[in-house]
Amino acid sequence: MIFNSWVFLAFFSIVYTLYLLTRRHLRLQNLVLLVASYVFYGFWDWRFLSLLFASTVIDFFAGRAMAATQDERRRRLFLAVSMSANLGMLGFFKYFNFFAESTTALLNVLGMQADFITLNILLPAGISFYTFQTMSYGIDIYRRKLQPTQRFLDFMLFVSFFPHLVAGPIMRATALLPQFTRKRHIRVEQVNAGLFLILWGYFKKVVVADNLAVTANNVFNNYQDYQGMDLLLGILAFTFQIYGDFSGYTDIARGISKLMGFELNLNFNLPYLAANPSDFWERWHISLSSWLRDYLYIPLGGNRCGSVRTYRNLFLTMLLGGLWHGAAWNFVVWGAYHGLILCAFRRLDPYPEHLREHRTVGDSLRLAAKVAFMFVLTVIGWVIFRSGSLEQIAYMLTHVGFGDRSWTTVSTLWRMVVLVSPLLLVQGYQYFSKDLLILSKWTPLARVPVYAFLLLAIILLGSRQTTEFIYFQF
């Protein structure tokens, strides 16, 4: 079940009605959400509900066991059980084929005949997201930063809460679990913000992302037929497609959560206006980058052990962050690429421009130049991310340019301008107002034409095909 389908709209209408009818009974309201979450996830493939439930049971009881003892060896044992179970399930379902095929290829290159049996393993939706979420719960209990919940049903709901289950944001127990244990009061400003986020998220997904996907798929799937300007337009199409797709999902997830009185973490903050790589990762997929920082980069030593080890820690963190995205070498290369530019900027630009005050025109122009340069680096990264082979990466990066136009170049460019311009206008306004929800705070009279425009665009220009969100495969 995906957000941009009639099935989900009917599903949420029923769930929201039951949710409001049970507003006086917290336990019953939570039970409605829990059943709805398992129905939502089971709609993909009911067999994978067992994995979700197994992860929930293991981490719930491992967390309680860690909190119940002061013996450090036993605490480490229960943490190891939790981590091994989660990483074992994630590794098997997500990476078995990848490592089996890579090992076979390496042995064949070395002259050793090998024929591994590769299972046709389906990837459970959202496994990377809920696995990281439950792992953080156990780690925080081990670090004595969190007390385990005593209510199993509340923990089940924390793990399976349907708005963010399959594509984030990755929520920490300290932020989300308390929201299940107290009565929710839906405030007017939450409803206003929720309606805006839902409309804006659907606009970014079905109008911007799904329409740009046509151009992006044509170019990336048949890259050798394109060069010059046409290749550039395909790359830019994917650049805005993946942003509209992923941030659109997050907006919808946050919006429907707000309608129910919940607050999910911000996951995107105008990432294409970042001034350097560290700024980018403070704006793009914030819940993942902060997870990697707190549970990988800092435990490795962070920046406390000298510059060489800091660069090593940065690189390893991004390398594993790339591998988290998928079982393919292009994701590993993409992670390595971002690790390298993070290290390079840390060395060459120790005083980030985006953290300084900008009082003169020269300061603003310098910041704009850095934003433009970082955008180019980001686009190069998306070529690596989307390509299916090293040969494709090399071809696309060496054949892209502003020349060699075809007869369809102008029409493709015009179509992209029409689709992307509203996105850029709104985000420019959000940037200068320093408020991502600024439109939801307008007066009702001022909001009506904006919301009407978004709704009409979704109805008239939205893709007629129900397309899965890109990050569902991760």
Q: Which of 284, 286, 257, 285 is nearest to 193 (CA)?
A: 257
Enter the tokens of residue 79. 């943490």
In angstroms, the Cα distances linking 204 to 211, 257, 363, 462 are 10, 18, 32, 10
Q: In this structure, what are the phi and psi dihedrals at residue 400, rounded to the nearest 5 degrees?
A: -80, 150
41, 8 contact by CB (below 8 A)? no
Instruction: Based on the residue annotation, tell me whether 399 is a catalytic residue of this protein.
Output: no
192, 442 contact by CB (below 8 A)? no
Distance CA 416, CA 215 (A): 9
Q: Is 47 helix (H, G, I), strand (E, B) or coil?
A: helix
The residue type at 202: Y
Q: Which of 325, 354, 358, 399 is catalytic?
A: 325
Could you give the maximum distance between any two Cα atoms of the chain, in Å? 73
Q: Is 182 left (phi over 0), alpha (psi -120 to 50) or beta?
A: beta
Residues 13-46: b if buried by 16+ CB within 10 A, e if exposed: eebeebbeebeeeeeebbebbbebbbbbbeebee
- Active site amino acids: 325
